[in-house]
Amino acid sequence: MDLTLKIWRQKGPQDKGQMVEYKVTDISEHMSFLEMMDVLNESLVAKNEEPIAFDHDCREGICGMCSLYINGEAHGPDRGITTCQLHMRMFKNGDTIYIEPFRAKAFPVIKDLVVDRMAFERIQQAGGFISVNTSGNTQDANAIPISKHNADLSMDAAACIGCGACVASCKNSSAMLFVSAKVSQFALLPQGKIEAADRVRNMVSQMDLEGFGNCTNTGACEVECPKGISLENIARMNREYLKASII
Amino acid sequence: MTTLNSRVPEGPIKDKWTLYKDKINLVNPANKRNIDIIVIGTGLAGGSAAATLAELGYSVKAFAYQDSPRRAHSIAAQGGINASKNYMGDGDSNYRLFYDTVKGGDYRSREANVYRLAEVSGNIIDQCVAQGVPFARDYGGLLDNRSFGGVLVSRTFYAKGQTGQQLLLGAYAAMNRQIARGKIEMFNRHEMLDIVKIDGKARGIIARDLISGKIERHSAHAVVIATGGYGNVYYLSTNAMGSNATAAWKIHKKGAYFANPCFTQIHPTCIPRSGDYQSKLTLMSESLRNDGRIWVPAKIEDAKAIQQGKLKPTEIAEEDRDYYLERRYPAFGNLVPRDVASRAAKERCDAGYGVNATGEAVYLDFKAAIHRYGREQAKIHGISNPSEEKIIELGEGIIEAKYGNLFQMYEKIIDENPYKTPMMIYPATHYTMGGVWVDYNLMTTVPGLYCIGEANFSDHGANRLGASALMQGLADGYFVLPYTIGDYLSDDIRTGKIATDTKEFDEVEKEVKDRLEFFINNKGTHSVDYFHKKLGLVMWNKVGMARNEKHLKEAIQEIQEIREDFWKNVKVPGSLNEFNQELEKAGRVADFLELGELFAKDALEREESCGGHFREEHVTEDGEAKRDDKNYAYVAAWEYTGKPSEAILHKEQLEFKDIELKTRSYK
């Protein structure tokens, strides 16, 4: 198929960006979206133009590196996927596709479609861990029984890949879904309970410092999340936070 | 010339590691903070190492090319991690895990390292659970296990189909704790471009800040390489697009020997390729083989009809299907090791029985498992005389709970529902067992330079068993390197900070800058990917699943030609001092173009078939791989002399004192 692409180009963080139009032809419906971008970039290199910078790595939907805001949606149309899992069969011959970086104050543009998601790192460093030494001298793993139900729920929360789609699709650029996923993973387990209050307080305050907006229960984050992280995690984080503020 | 000394300690295999730990030198905690360690790569091995070294008190600088350690490709490992806990009571033990690993690796790994790996494996599970890794649990609240190819016990711990992700996030969390304390200085979006040696010892690196393009000098008392494997030498592989061999190759060029480069695992269960534009291949976890049965049509006319789209797999009667693994290997069936399963698939496809348009695919069928689970669930739920639909519904529920994310991934890529029609799979390049040569301390032939995880060579021999990669990465990083590196660093407590304004740093920085400037100024005619794809084709066609002398000789010649063409005609747009992804790729492909040649040279030299290395000249009467223990029970460790074709071979003779060398049989 033949497509018209309108892509955000921005030389660097301080430069002014703009949408630039490109045409691609002979795109196979079996290609992934990023393979279509590869084809475009190859043609740009052939014409001595600078290829479009975009983040990607594993190309199997798990590393969380790929971003892209496609036709007004984080990771584009289709549900429960990252951009690398988006296939061109979702588009039609002759379509015009708008491709932009994830937009949020806390995610400054590095170049073209690449944004800086370091704010997520700093939130994790503020408390997204259990303070246990890595000495291997811990108790036997089966000495900590965990109900299957809680282990499964914890796993569901832990499945977050930190891609930032939740922030990009939220009208307030809130990072609550991301933060709540980590808080929930630990809140559902007996390990790390002792520091639960500090964890949620520190992570939430770092989240606010980074300039993310607040949650107004719109639910767009849940809809666009490639890993189906549930809004219930936000409720759980709020409960944890409330608990932490009264003890 | 460095001589190879594996430094395997004396004593019985069961006690080697314990006795050794008792005797190695320690560094006083007050001195540790004055010692700097650089860790390159922050996946399972590098991340766990950085966290543990920082926790011990060393000052750690960690480098990752992605924006966060959480993106490392360890995250994509699906099926699980092995440990000899014997929680299932099915007879597992350290010895059995050791035995399975050595046998699975076709007797080309180092016994002492493998035993140590088995010995610490149980600790890994304890450690990860303490860190909050949400492993699968049974209804009693205890940990669940499943089994993997090449073994007869259930020793694989898992977190859905996302085990690698969860273990990596555990190591990442441990790192974050140390970053917050200021004990790890994290350099995201940085790439190591060369190593700096002073008086023969590794003392620092030259790195590029990938955002600003700035070239930086970093010094340390020791450098640890944990950058994973080099499967992307094939262009198409299951590795992440950015996975590269640059750090490992650069240290090879500066004196670290490179061992067994031709030992590459071709994984049997990948989604088949569909076209020339394809950028990478996607793995389907081997754990699927627990419940999936692999088959092709028994009649060639059925296979042809399927290839032409005239027949569907569901229309082929049970008796017209050839479950070739169950037929050939009755004891292990669909759970034979990866090298055996891959070759068996290729054999059927080469014979014309492949099941997609290209003839390069076999079926992985869940119908029998769905029925089995469905009937079991009906009983559990007290449904007497369940309808066929009900059985399928219940069975699909169980399959979804076990492998849901994999099925979803398959459906997104192929656009077919694998619950209703069998998956198509084909082998693809996956894991590299070869890598930088290290001794028992995990130190390379360069003093102070260590290599851990997939980037080194030692534990998996010629084939890695499923669920053992995660085990080795974490064993090296959490429990082995932190001990052994102290033994070396105990001599460095009076060294003080290593200066970076020395002639050694000047020289290497100049080399790095000259190379980068060359790319930008070359203004050639072809993109970097053009050369990478050409290299990949030669590697797959002539140094792929089956190798022979004629093809290997041709491959060496062809790779040299591509390399020459690359240095004349490569085109890299943009400039040096900016975010420039083409420039990043150019350096990595330049290294693959040299590594590929050494790979082929190693395969040519090894006149036997073993594990992932299959020489067509060396097969038994029934078509199985034929090993030659008399002449090839050694590690081929290559010394760089200026050109890959002129690398010098050093042999580390492998000793098998605790396991008898036997022909590997899974029948």
Per-residue pLDDT of chain A (247 residues; tens, 9 = 90+): 999 999 999 999 999 999 999 999 999 999 999 999 999 999 999 999 999 999 999 999 999 999 999 999 999 999 999 999 999 999 999 999 999 999 999 999 999 999 999 999 999 999 999 999 998 889 999 999 999 999 999 999 999 999 999 999 999 999 999 999 999 999 999 999 999 999 999 999 999 999 999 999 999 999 999 999 999 999 999 999 999 999 7
Residues A245, A239: Cα–Cα separation, whole Å: 10
User: Domains, chain B, ranges and CATH?
Assistant: 271-427 (3.90.700.10), 503-653 (1.20.58.100)
Q: Mean pLDDT throughout B603-627?
A: 94
| Start-to-end CA span in chain A (Å) | 61
Q: Which of residues 27-66 of A touch B (CB under 8 A)?
A: 28, 30-32, 34-35, 38-39, 42, 44-46, 48-51, 53, 55-65
Within this chain, do residues A27 and A62 fall inside the same structural domain, yes or no? yes
A131, A155 in Cβ contact below 8 A?
Answer: no
Within this chain, do residues A88 and A165 fall inside the same structural domain, yes or no? no
The answer to whether the CB atoms of A56 and B67 lie below 8 A apart is no
The helix-helix angle for B163-180 and A148-158 (nearest 10°) equals 70
**Strand-pair partners of B266:** B429
Give, as one character, the DSSP assignment of residue A140. P
The residue assigned the tokens 């699980």 is: B80
Using CB atoms, pick whichever of A30, A49, A63 lies closest to residue B275.
Answer: A30
CATH number of the domain within which A194 lies:
1.10.1060.10
Give, as one character, the DSSP assignment of residue B2. P
Within this chain, do residues A156 and A107 fall inside the same structural domain, yes or no? no
Q: Which of B153, B32, B90 minimizes the C-alpha distance to B492?
A: B32
Confidence band of B214 (pLDDT split at 50, 70, 90): very high
Q: Mean pLDDT throughout B228-238?
A: 97
| pTM score | 0.96
Within this chain, do residues A103 and A165 fall inside the same structural domain, yes or no? no
A167, A178 in Cβ contact below 8 A?
Answer: yes
| Start-to-end CA span in chain B (Å) | 45
Rg of the Cα atoms in chain B: 25
> B295 — phi, psi (to 5°)?
-150, 165
Q: Which of B147, B357, B364, B359 minimizes the C-alpha distance to B268?
A: B364
Residues B441, B113: Cα–Cα separation, whole Å: 9
As a whole-number percent, the residues of chain B with pLDDT over 90 amount to 93
Within this chain, do residues A150 and A230 fall inside the same structural domain, yes or no? yes
- CA nearest to B236 within chain A: A59
In 3-state terms, what secondary structure has residue A118?
Answer: helix
Q: Which of B283, B415, B425, B307 minimizes the C-alpha distance to A30?
A: B415
B92, B98 in Cβ contact below 8 A?
Answer: no
Range of the domain at A34: 3-111
Q: Is B539 exposed, middle or buried (0-12, 13-18, 19+ CB in 10 A)?
A: buried
Q: Which of B326, B409, B387, B399 minimizes the C-alpha distance to B362?
A: B326
In 3-state terms, what secondary structure has residue B333?
Answer: helix
Selected residue of A15, A62, A160 to mutate for chain B interface (largest B Cβ count, 10 A) = A62
The answer to whether the CB atoms of B67 and A62 lie below 8 A apart is no
Q: Is B139 an 8 Å CB contact of chain A? A: yes
- Tokens found for residue B611: 């594990």
Using CB atoms, pick whichever of B48, B70, B412 lies closest to residue A85.
Answer: B412
Residues B378, A203: Cα–Cα separation, whole Å: 45
**Strand-pair partners of A103:** none
Within this chain, do residues A90 and A125 fall inside the same structural domain, yes or no? no
- Tokens found for residue B380: 């559990």
Contacts of B143 (CB under 8 A, 6+ apart): A141, A142, B85, B87, B125, B129, B135, B136, B137, B157
Within this chain, do residues A201 and A235 fall inside the same structural domain, yes or no? yes
B131, B652 in Cβ contact below 8 A?
Answer: no
Q: Which of B333, B344, B323 minimizes the C-alpha distance to B268?
A: B344
- What is the DSSP code string of B590-656? HHHHHHHHHHHHHHHH--S-BTTB-BTTSB-TTS-B---HHHH-EEEEEEPSSSGGGPEEEEEE---
Say if residue B354's pLDDT is above 60. yes
A116 contacts in chain B (CB < 8 Å): 67
CB atoms within 10 A of CB B416: 13
Within this chain, do residues A126 and A39 fall inside the same structural domain, yes or no? no
Residues A135, B130: Cα–Cα separation, whole Å: 11
Q: Is B182 an 8 Å CB contact of chain A? A: no
Total tally of structural domains belonging to chain A: 2
Q: Mean pLDDT throughout B466-490?
A: 97
**Mean pLDDT across chain B:** 96
The answer to whether the CB atoms of A35 and B278 lie below 8 A apart is yes
Q: In what order do the strands lie in the sheet with A96-100?
A: A18-24, A3-9, A96-100, A69-70, A73-74
Within this chain, do residues A25 and A55 fall inside the same structural domain, yes or no? yes
Residues A131, B160: Cα–Cα separation, whole Å: 25
Give, as one character, the DSSP assignment of residue B122. H
**Mean pLDDT across chain A:** 97
pLDDT at residue A93 in the model: 98
The answer to whether the CB atoms of B132 and A125 lie below 8 A apart is no
Using CB atoms, pick whichever of B282, B409, B581 lies closest to residue A53.
Answer: B581
The residue assigned the tokens 């070359």 is: B522
Residues B278, B280: Cα–Cα separation, whole Å: 6
Within this chain, do residues A98 and A156 fall inside the same structural domain, yes or no? no
Per residue in B516-575, pLDDT tens? 999 999 999 999 999 999 999 999 999 999 999 999 999 999 999 999 999 999 999 999
Within this chain, do residues A101 and A123 fall inside the same structural domain, yes or no? no
Q: In what order do the strands lie in the sheet with B215-219?
A: B190-198, B201-209, B215-219
pLDDT at residue B2 in the model: 60
B75 contacts in chain A (CB < 8 Å): 58, 62-63
Residues B188, A110: Cα–Cα separation, whole Å: 14
CATH number of the domain within which A58 lies:
3.10.20.30
Say if residue B404's pLDDT is above 90. no
Measured in whole angstroms, the distance separating CA B308 from the mean position of its chain's CA atoms is 36
Say if residue B605's pLDDT is above 70. yes
Measured in whole angstroms, the distance separating CA B185 from the mean position of its chain's CA atoms is 27
ipTM for this model? 0.98
Within this chain, do residues A22 and A63 fall inside the same structural domain, yes or no? yes
Give the active site residues of B: 338
